[in-house]
Amino acid sequence: MLHQLYGWIQNIAVYLIVAAAVMHAIPGNDYGKYVGFFSGLVLILLLFTPVMKLSGMEETFRELYQNSQYELERQEIELVRERLEEADILEFLPEEYGGMDDGEAEEKNGSSIEVEEIRVGE
């Protein structure tokens, strides 16, 4: 029990140090409000972690977040893939992501690009 309490306090301390470093690294005051708001929300979650563990809500909360987050990411990836297919630019992607290898791309385009020499700074 004491080890868990020590770990909880250590997590909060590390988070506060990282949040302070991020706040100081942000240029200008425009984004400071948003970062402060977000870091405050995360701090609230860190503070309520022991209560959620005792009540059994932590696992339920984690499952809900992971399921919805996974579904949103999957939908976003499918949407991007459809847009790339519509724009017919998948040949630039590696083969394992649905693109074409060099031979297939050259056959489709009927040409290849060769670069002889590149000079920079002259």
Taking only the tens place, the pLDDT of each residue in 13-48 is: 999 999 999 888 887 777 888 888 999 999 998 998
Structure tokens at 107: 């056959």
pLDDT tier at 95, thresholds 50, 70, 90: low
pLDDT, averaged across the chain: 77
| pLDDT attached to residue 16 | 93
The answer on pLDDT for 51 being more than 90 is no
| pLDDT attached to residue 107 | 54
Inter-residue contact 53 to 47 (CB < 8 Å): no
Task: Look up the pTM and report it.
Answer: 0.47
